[in-house]
Amino acid sequence: MTISWSMILGVIYAINLMTALFTVFRQRRDIAAMWAWLLVLLLLPVIGFIFYAFFGRQLPKNKLFKVDNTVQTRLDTILSEQRELLLEPDTSQHPVSRDIAGTMQLFMRANRAFLTRRNRVKLFTDGNSLFDAIIRDINAAQRNVNVEFYTFYNDEIGSAVLSALVARAKAGVTVRVIYDPWGSMGTYRRFFKPLIDAGGYVEPFLARSAILDFRLNFRNHRKIVVVDGEIGYVGGFNIGDQYLGCSKKFGHWRDTHIRIEGAAVFALQSRFVLDWNATSKKAKLADNYVDRDYFPVMAPKGLTSMQIVSSGPDSQLQQIKMGYIRLIQMAKKRLWIQSPYFIPDDGVIEALKIAIMSGVDVRIMVPSMPDHPFVYRATQHFCRDTAEIGAKIYYYGNGFLHAKTMLVDDEVASVGSANMDYRSFKLNFEVNAFLYDKEINTQLAALFEQDMAESTLITPEMFADQSLYLRFKQSVSRLLAPIL
């Protein structure tokens, strides 16, 4: 019997097919992701499996973020008190609507995200102003500074932040830093040696380096700073010169971050400590840290009510996505969204369609330039789909839009690290602030309108005029959306 090349290729394809089916179906994942991975594994034999080894494997959820009994008891007590508080009027503000109260309950049940009232919040859209404030607060720290970023680059602003942390560590302040090794590619551990030598602690999130991290899909995308348990920062900015608008490629960098004073800092501190104890092997925080300097009792600072909500691949609930869907469903007048990536899954798409067809003013703003080609083409595909049913799509033209914000009607908003895409919903570790405050909503709306002046409204007719080749690239990218 003569063995031909066609027979050999047929056997290889059959083995590849069976292996692909076993690989994809042996782990629980949603249907869209399963089909996307099957497409990759079947169209790219061998290479597809290498790609899967780095990007497709899931995390051991039972080994992450174990909460000690002391922390859990206190969080449960606060959560119970907050549920009761929802039934009582807040004398500092008008009573919340049933929709808002339901949203608060959702986050309490899905994420143990307790409600905090009377926080003071300041918005930042410029990286220079933001990092001036962060460094100023670090310089004033007396007890502890906790820093967690997806990107911590070894450049001018990275060195400036590190110098401030080193100075406080030398002054006896406890300093801890978590950075994502993939997001901080090019920043090596030796960059942090001055801080370690000064008595600070530095850990790459869940891996020693990007090269040795064989689960590249699961990134710590959070951006958190907590100073003395009293001041917190959360939002979209990372630490790097490009986030100050210094990049030749991107130019002006448009992002949104918030500075918080008040009880909501408790939640950011809790999030950092959980991440630290999941990451650190030798310098975990003690069980009794809850009752020490990390969580001071604070008097009311302002008028903003908020919940800090986190999500990640350690949970099946996709809490931030659930929050986005809830806010979309709540919208009666306006729903304004900013995100550098707009690749929503079917649940979010259906919620958006209902809002648009119900007469809600839905506006979606994305960058006019790509930073990831496939992701950008997939974003264009979904923008075209939503434009065709009535959404107003804006391409931001004054540099790169990196803000992740959502405004609903007059009183609810979200600011954080989570994009409107599959990756933020399921694969990344994210954190958002959901704010219930008419004044903050008004400020964010004014910023959105300013950004509209720097943007181009892309109509359905303009999408229809796109070339067949561009539409083809968008459609192919859309097929890969669940794993981008």
| Active-site residue (options: 223, 301, 426, 473) | 223
On whether both 356 and 401 belong to a single domain, the answer is: yes
Active site includes 223?
yes
Active site includes 404?
yes
111 inside domain: no
Q: What is the pLDDT confidence band of residue 8, given thresholds at 50, 70 and 90?
A: low
90 inside domain: no
Residue 325, domain CATH: 3.30.870.10
Is the pLDDT confidence value at 58 over 80? no
On whether both 172 and 42 belong to a single domain, the answer is: no
Active site includes 346?
no
Is the pLDDT confidence value at 297 over 80? no
pLDDT reported for residue 264: 93
On whether both 272 and 205 belong to a single domain, the answer is: yes
Of 93-102, 106-115, 127-136, 190-199, give the lowest mean pLDDT range: 93-102
| Active-site residue (options: 257, 301, 402, 426) | 402
Residue 256 contacts residue 440 (beta carbons within 8 Å): no
On whether both 271 and 417 belong to a single domain, the answer is: no
Mark which of 305, 327, 355 sits at the end of a domain.
Answer: 305
On whether both 336 and 393 belong to a single domain, the answer is: yes
On whether both 151 and 206 belong to a single domain, the answer is: yes
| Active-site residue (options: 381, 404, 426, 473) | 404
52 inside domain: yes
On whether both 77 and 32 belong to a single domain, the answer is: no
Q: What is the pLDDT confidence band of residue 105, given thresholds at 50, 70 and 90?
A: very high
Please report which helix (H) or strand (E) contains residue 385, including its range. Answer: helix 373-388
On whether both 332 and 440 belong to a single domain, the answer is: yes
b (16+ CB within 10 A) / e for 333-352 = ebbbbbbbbbbbbeebeebb
Active site includes 228?
yes
On whether both 384 and 462 belong to a single domain, the answer is: yes
92 inside domain: no
- Domain of residue 184 covers 62-85+116-305
71 inside domain: yes
How do residues 68-94 score in pLDDT, each as one tens digit?
455 556 656 665 665 555 455 555 555
Neighbours of 388 (CB within 10 A): 13
Q: What are the distances in angstroms from CA 47 to CA 20, 40, 41, 396, 435?
A: 12, 9, 8, 36, 45
Neighbours of 457 (CB within 10 A): 12
The four Cα atoms 239, 240, 246, 252 give a dihedral, to 10 degrees, of: -40
Dist. CA 103–CA 1, nearest whole Å: 70
How do residues 24-48 score in pLDDT, each as one tens digit?
555 655 656 655 655 655 566 656 5
Burial class, 374, CB count within 10 angstroms (exposed 0-12 / middle 13-18 / buried 19+): middle
On whether both 66 and 45 belong to a single domain, the answer is: no
pLDDT reported for residue 62: 47
On whether both 423 and 363 belong to a single domain, the answer is: yes
Active site includes 68?
no
- Which tokens belong to 244? 């100050």
174 inside domain: yes
Is the pLDDT confidence value at 282 over 60? yes
Is the pLDDT confidence value at 271 over 80? yes
% of the chain at pLDDT higher than 70: 76
Helix (H, G, I), strand (E, B) or coil at 177: strand
pLDDT reported for residue 476: 77
| Active-site residue (options: 213, 221, 255, 275) | 221
How do residues 399-451 score in pLDDT, each as one tens digit?
999 999 999 999 999 999 999 998 899 889 999 999 999 999 999 999 999 99
pLDDT reported for residue 339: 98
Dist. CA 247–CA 225, nearest whole Å: 24
Active site includes 371?
no
| Active-site residue (options: 409, 421, 437, 451) | 409
Residue 255 contacts residue 127 (beta carbons within 8 Å): yes
Dist. CA 109–CA 325, nearest whole Å: 16
On whether both 210 and 289 belong to a single domain, the answer is: yes
Domain count for the chain, please give it: 3
% of the chain at pLDDT higher than 90: 58
